[in-house]
Amino acid sequence: MMAPVGVQSIFHSDKEIGLAEVCGEIGVPYILSTASSSTIEEVSAASSGPKWYQLYWPKDHEITKSLLKRAKSQGFKVLVVTLDTWTLAWRPADLDQGYIPFVAGVGNQIGFSDPEFRIKFAEKYGGKTPEESVLQASQEWLGDVFSGASQSWRDIKLLREAWDGPIVLKGIQHPEDAKLAVEAGCDGIVVSNHGGRQLDGAVGSLDMLPEIVEAVGDKIPVLFDSGIRTGADIIKALSLGATAVLVGRPVIYGLGIAGKKGAKQVLQGLLADLDQSMGLAGIKDIKGCNQTILRKA
């Protein structure tokens, strides 16, 4: 699957619209980030394939409900809730350069286009629109989605009230949290450390994958999102119990170099590499990717 990656306009003008389009063309499910430089509606119109929506969970429940209503109406089938970014991490390279695109309104398009957010913003700022006051609107949006206030397991029921489809929790790194996700009635989890961008020294996701798979058994699907670069990487993750893998950076590198065509070539290359590597390893089908074929060095 295509992992949710925010602010794709900083890589290429094709941005989320172009990437969603080519994912649909080759049948790779696309996960749209809340931190997008395209709207929910624009991405839906561009994509002919399976679409999931990734939520950075606002503290304002009315805005949350509005986002989910839009995603549902536009054909997004699964809700992916990111757990590990309720506040932005300490990122020295970005701080040194003063580089925070959100402050300039870049990557806030889903928020700025949301009816509920626009109403609340106009009420607070004398009828202004986000477009008329980008800095203030950006501050309001960031304060809501990256508020520094985490949610609790009890709050899953609030999402259930607003979303009648599957709910997948992204950012699980501990077997006990995986068990709690099952108890909370979630439909799947994604083992991920946010590409190593949130917590310095965080444990590697691949190291935790077998423990987490063992903890949940076959109760819910376990997806994997961390460091997928080659077909062999996919085989390893599937063999350690992942139901599917998410790929992020390599596709974005392709997008940055050659737009949607570059992204498509990376995805096609990964799929071809997977097929070729399975053949060379004597693995007949995906079911053949299991722990019996692995040896830990």
Tens digits of pLDDT across the chain (297 residues): 999 999 999 999 999 999 999 999 999 999 999 999 999 999 999 999 999 999 999 999 999 999 999 999 999 999 999 999 988 899 999 999 999 999 999 999 999 999 999 999 999 999 999 999 999 999 999 999 998 888 899 999 999 999 999 999 999 999 999 999 999 999 999 999 999 889 999 999 999 999 999 999 999 999 999 999 999 999 999 999 999 999 999 999 999 999 999 999 999 999 999 999 999 999 999 999 999 999 988
Does 175 fall in a domain?
A: no
Reported as half-sphere exposure (CB side, CA atoms, 13 A), residue 51 has a value of 28
pLDDT at 31: 98
| Range of the structural domain that residue 145 is part of | 9-50+58-78+85-149
Q: How far apart are CA 146 and CA 58, in angstroms?
A: 7
**Helices 231-239/249-280 angle, 10° precision:** 70
For the chain, the residue count is 297
Does 141 fall in a domain?
A: yes
Does 138 fall in a domain?
A: yes
Does 210 fall in a domain?
A: no
Does 220 fall in a domain?
A: no
Domain tally, the chain: 1
Does 246 fall in a domain?
A: no
Does 263 fall in a domain?
A: no
Does 71 fall in a domain?
A: yes
- Pairing assessment for the beta strands 167-172 and 51-55 based on DSSP bridges: unpaired
Q: Which residues are catalytic?
A: 194
Amino acid at 42: E
